[in-house]
Amino acid sequence: MTGDPFRCYPQMRPEPLFRRQTVCQDETVVNLSSNTIHLVSTGAVTCRNHARLGLDRLLRGVYGSKLRLDGLDQYEARRATLLRHARAVMALYQERGAVLYGPSAFQAMGVALPNPLEDWDNCHILIPRQSGRPRRIGVITHRSTTRPVVWGHVDGLPLMHPVDHWLQLAGNEDQLVEVADGLLRRKQPILSLEEFKQRLDLRSGHRLVRRAARLVMAGTDSLYEPRLRLLLVRAGLPKPQVNLPVLCPSAGRQFHIDMGYEMEKLAVEYDGMVHAGNRAQMEIDARRRRHLQDEGWLVITITAGQLQHPNDVVGSVERALIARQAAITNRKALHSQ
């Protein structure tokens, strides 16, 4: 294998029934070369000399170069650590047909998971039943009656088709929608909605999965956007359009709003506060809102804290929709006179 194992725009290894594409969504690039995993079985590294060689013990019989996490935020550091651990596991079991599985597969791809579905402490793998069941600390083994079919790689880490991983998640309906939306993100999507549905049609799924699939939409930018959308829809409000393009002549450009109602010119946006304290970005965001308002759009901004009070959020959007629809009705009545 060649290249940086943590690059997020990997050169995909050609496989049968596989097309070249970017599998990883995360934009973080961590400097760690692919030859930094060492097995004791090679004879070059042992428990006695690994420290002197500047290596960490990753698993029993597996050592790796020290991982630099300087400048990474908490998520990036956890993901980099998980990926190095996954490379160590695959060095032992990939020849036995193992693939990344469950939360480890999604976290390797850079797809955000709801907190209850995350697992940063273990590497989940799927391995053929006839290959036995490895028992190691930090490795959770799932077994398959057949050899898993490799759909693609994240820099050498084998993955099944993302929909196959999605079908195995033990989440509720809303959590499944949030993860599926993550596969179809606006930036660097792993699948298109058509590809998602085509693969799902080839696989059997229980009723919960089928219900969740009907609520999946492409074009979101964060885990909280589908959460907000489902909150509104489950409260009985009309389903908003996602990633709605709005042309603003005053700005000389087109903006995309997280979700909204085009006829009523009502935008509902999630603010993750990731740019808090960044004056330049705050100015850009304020200018964008002003241009949207100049075009007659009402922008309702929702934060993670506000989502803890769902009735208030639904009430704000519902009242805005009623007021805007009433204004449209009044304008039509005036024009008809």
- Quick one: pLDDT at residue 282? 81
Q: Average of pLDDT values for 57-71?
A: 88
Tokens of 10: 């990997």
What pTM was computed for the model? 0.81
Q: 3-state secondary structure string, the chain? A: CCCCCCCCCCCCCCCCCCCCCCCCCCCCCCCCCCCCEEEHHHCCCCCCCCCCCCEEEEECCEEEECCCCCCCCHHHHHHHHHHHHHHHHHHHHHHHCCEECHHHHHHHHCCCCCHHHCCCCCEEEEEEHHHCCCCCCCEEEEEECCCCCCCEEECCEEECCHHHHHHCCCCCHHHHHHHHHHHCCCCCCCCCHHHHHHHHHHCCCCHHHHHHHHCCCCCCCCCHHHHHHHHHHHCCCCCCEEEEEEEECCCCEEEEEEEEECCCCEEEEEECCCCCCCHHHHHHHHHHHHHHHHCCCEEEEEECCHHHCHHHHHHHHHHHHHHHHHHHHHHHHHHHC
- Quick one: pLDDT at residue 276? 52
CB half-sphere exposure, 132, CA atoms < 13 A? 6
- Quick one: pLDDT at residue 28? 35
Q: Average of pLDDT values for 225-232?
A: 95
Parallel, antiparallel, or unpaired: how do β-strands 123-128 and 139-144 relate? parallel
Q: Are 239 and 216 in contact (CB under 8 A)?
A: no
Cα–Cα distance, 297 to 277 (Å, whole number): 26
pLDDT over threshold 90, residue 324: yes
Parallel, antiparallel, or unpaired: how do β-strands 99-100 and 123-128 relate? antiparallel
Cα–Cα distance, 281 to 328 (Å, whole number): 34
- Quick one: pLDDT at residue 21? 38
pLDDT digits (tens, 9 = 90+) for 269-297: 998 765 555 678 888 888 999 999 999 99
- Quick one: pLDDT at residue 29? 33
pLDDT over threshold 60, residue 265: yes
Local confidence band at 9 (pLDDT 50, 70, 90 cut-offs):
very low
- CB neighbours of residue 128 within 10 Å: 15
Q: Which of 80, 87, 79, 15 is nearest to 58 (CA)?
A: 87
pLDDT over threshold 90, residue 85: yes
- Quick one: pLDDT at residue 15? 30
CB burial class (10 A; 0-12, 13-18, 19+) of residue 140? middle
Among 49-58, 195-204, 224-233, the range of highest mean pLDDT: 224-233
Quick one: residue 296, left, alpha or beta (phi over 0 = left, psi -120 to 50 = alpha)?
A: left
- Quick one: pLDDT at residue 20? 30
- Quick one: pLDDT at residue 335? 80
Handedness of CA 91, 93, 97, 102 (dihedral sign): negative
- Quick one: pLDDT at residue 216? 95
The strand pairing partners of 267, in sequence order, are 260, 299
Domains along the chain?
37-160 (no CATH), 225-336 (3.40.960.10)
Tokens of 59: 């698993």
- Quick one: pLDDT at residue 273? 61
pLDDT digits (tens, 9 = 90+) for 126-182: 999 887 777 888 999 999 988 999 999 987 899 999 999 999 998 899 999 999 999
Percentage of residues in the chain having pLDDT higher than 70: 88
pLDDT digits (tens, 9 = 90+) for 301-316: 999 899 999 999 999 9
